[in-house]
Amino acid sequence: MKVGIVGLGLIGGSLGLDLKKTKIVSKIVGYDNNIAHCEEALKLKLVDEIVPFEDLKNCDIVFLAIPVEAIIETLQKLKDAPKNCTIVDLGSTKEKIVKSVPKEIREQFIAAHPMAGTENFGPSAALEGLYKGNIVVLCDLEENSDLHKNRAILIFSHIGMKIIFMDSKNHDRHVAFISHMPHAVSYALANSVMKQEDPQNILLLAVGGFKGMSRIAKSSPKMWSDIFKQNKNNLLKALRCFKDEIDKVENLVESENWEDLEKWMQEGREIHKIL
């Protein structure tokens, strides 16, 4: 298969590296609005060639590894893609994207969310093996033809991903709690510390827990503000649930109810029986 990748940062670049190890891909071409990203992607051998956007339509499969709002815009430019061209979006939200797909390409459009990544971005962040062993969620496949459905399953399987199926509405509700809310919390934690502590104290004292919890605040603000925009209602619900827990611990500490505080902490530890 000839593969096209739109967006040559962490997600798209890592995909290029992993696809190169498979025997089902003959050539990988790339496109990015950022010229510097194109040059860097070629230098790092994330793709074999940089092509004009229109040439992507000659590929067997095109992956959209760009911010979720840009995915919606780009799908409009692909509505005249040949019927044998599979189009896969790799965004972190699904329902709004699925609803925006032009009817001309709906049966060839695959809504996918690979649950893999790091806090870094750009071509230099690309990692070989990023996808192996991780989950990819494929949504609303009942609207796809067998050709495109099977092609997507084949390619994700070959890069070592575990595939699960879900409708787009439920997907967005679940990831609001499991992925999107933690990013909001990490940004909030980073901002609260920055506004209260001088850089020298942060440098001296920020170890272990703080570094771990604030790590994902390094993530691309452009990408995550788009995600929050698309999943607004689900994210607000998740944040309100989190705020309830913050209010609870605040009240327990303020009232010096140490026994119930310990029970509250013990309840939180239960999640590690799942993880």
**pLDDT in tens for each of the 275 residues of the chain?**
999 999 999 999 999 999 999 989 999 999 999 999 999 999 999 999 999 999 999 999 999 999 999 999 999 999 999 999 999 999 999 999 999 999 999 999 999 999 987 778 899 999 999 999 999 999 999 999 999 999 999 999 999 999 999 999 999 999 999 999 999 999 998 888 878 767 777 666 666 677 778 888 888 888 899 999 999 999 999 999 999 999 999 999 999 999 999 999 999 988 888 76
Alpha-carbon distance of 4 to 16, in angstroms, equals 9
- Angle, alpha carbons 106-10-32 (nearest 5°): 60
- Whole-model pTM: value is 0.87
| Nearest to 130, CA basis, from 141, 119, 143 | 119
Q: Are 144 and 180 in contact (CB under 8 A)?
A: no
Q: Hey, what domains does the chain have and what are their CATH numbers?
A: 2-166 (3.40.50.720), 171-273 (1.10.3660.10)
Tokens representing residue 173 in the block: 């509700």
CA atoms within 13 A on the CB side of 212: 2
Alpha-carbon distance of 58 to 62, in angstroms, equals 9
Q: What is the DSSP letter of 161?
A: P
